[in-house]
Structure 1
Amino acid sequence: MARILVVDDSPTDLAALRKMLESDGHEVSECTEGAEAVERVKADKPDCVLMDVVMPGMNGFQATRALSRAPETAAIPVIVISSKSQDTDRLWAMRQGAKEYIVKPIKQQDLLAKVRGVIAG
């Protein structure tokens, strides 16, 4: 179905997201840092990016902002996935260019519905 880049510094979360997405037929690639994610998105042009917030170096908000403001990646939807559940966190993610926001722990049906929604446009 879609090519999805998952960005998270937790091996456990990466494995869980990969399993959920692959069970729905998606092709998954991964990276663990925001700066690496920005470079990978520019090079690989995935259909969607799942972005954690709390990571070493460039955080997910900063990476999302970089992707949404670069002409070559602005059209690639970013879904922020975070343990931060405050409305201000959600609002900030959307202001950085995220198309959706999911709070951990992630329910597979919610994840897949949001991925389908942003890919469909």
Structure 2
Amino acid sequence: MAQILIVDDSPTETFRFKEILSKHGYDVIEASNGADGVTLAEAALPDLILMDVVMPGVNGFQATRQITRGEKTKHIPIIIVSTKDQATDRVWGKRQGAKDYLTKPIDEQALIEVIQQHIKAG
């Protein structure tokens, strides 16, 4: 069973992601901020990470950059999931190393398709 790390400071969003992912057979771990997300990514080495952008302290772009440049974690695909839907946000997210960029509110089918695509590719 693939393990997915959710990094999001919103308990509501985290709960929704967990609900969707569990229903589709994924094992879920979670971090409520970017710094914890980086630490947990290094410790757990999940198969994929769902990363929010707007979080206190280390934001999602910074955490994505740290994970994708880390020796132990650079192979882990990161999908940014954010309310920020400007073209510049998408470009910046990809520049930090994200494999994909989805906007909230999340479409369950689109989320699962993107996850499957990146877990298979990895």
Normalised by the size of structure 2, how large is the TM-score? 0.98
2:11 is matched with 11
Structure 2, unmatched stretches of 5+, are none
How far does residue 71 in structure 1 lie from its aligned partner after superposition? 1.3
The separation in 2 between residues aligned to 1:2 and 1:119, in whole angstroms, is 8
Which SS does the other structure have where 1:110 is aligned? helix
The separation in 1 between residues aligned to 2:17 and 2:29, in whole angstroms, is 11
Find out whether 1:24 has 2:16 as its counterpart. Answer: no
Identity of aligned residues (%): 49
Displacement over 2 Å in runs of 4+: none
Matches within 5 A, 1:64-83: 64-83=64-83
1:59 is matched with 59
The separation in 2 between residues aligned to 1:81 and 1:41, in whole angstroms, is 17
One-letter identity of the residue aligned with 1:6:
I
How far does residue 5 in structure 1 lie from its aligned partner after superposition? 0.4
The separation in 2 between residues aligned to 1:70 and 1:5, in whole angstroms, is 16
Normalised by the size of structure 1, how large is the TM-score? 0.99
1:117 is matched with 117
How far does residue 59 in structure 1 lie from its aligned partner after superposition? 0.1
How far does residue 97 in structure 1 lie from its aligned partner after superposition? 0.2
One-letter identity of the residue aligned with 1:62:
Q
The separation in 2 between residues aligned to 1:55 and 1:66, in whole angstroms, is 15
Which SS does the other structure have where 2:101 is aligned? strand
2:39 is matched with 39
Structure 1, unmatched stretches of 5+, are none
Which SS does the other structure have where 2:30 is aligned? strand
